[in-house]
Amino acid sequence: MKNPTTVVSTALASILAMSAMGLPSTTAAADKNDMEKCYGVAKAGKNDCKTLSNACAGHAISDNQKDAFIALPAGTCERISGGSLQAPAGM
């Protein structure tokens, strides 16, 4: 796994899978107050809330859609390539 995007995608998928199964992890065990919105890293259909193009969670139409976000433990978003704490203009 020499490609940084592959490493980040694998790490993010692991965090999401562990949280979906209800298993604690060092990064996913943060309480809701320690969560932040991370734009531009959600996989298609896995966003947490509305986007500019739709009004429902889980309806992002493409991977890494800039206006779609997922909630991540505070401090995680800045470490993910393409992640942004700011919504794109117009949101």
Number of domains in the chain: 1
Mean pLDDT of the 10-20 span: 69
Residue 58 inside a domain? The answer is: yes
Write down the pLDDT at residue 83: 93
Mean pLDDT of the 75-89 span: 91
Residue 41 inside a domain? The answer is: yes
Write down the pLDDT at residue 59: 85
Yes or no: say if 14 and 60 are a contact pair by the CB < 8 Å rule: no
Residue 40 inside a domain? The answer is: yes
Yes or no: say if 9 and 47 are a contact pair by the CB < 8 Å rule: no
Residue 11 inside a domain? The answer is: yes
Residue 20 inside a domain? The answer is: yes
What digits encode the pLDDT tens for the residues 29-80? 445 679 999 999 999 888 888 887 777 888 888 898 888 899 999 999 999 9
* Range of the structural domain that residue 11 is part of: 4-79
| DSSP letter assigned to residue 82 | T
Mean pLDDT of the 8-22 span: 69
Residue 73 inside a domain? The answer is: yes
Residue 88 inside a domain? The answer is: no
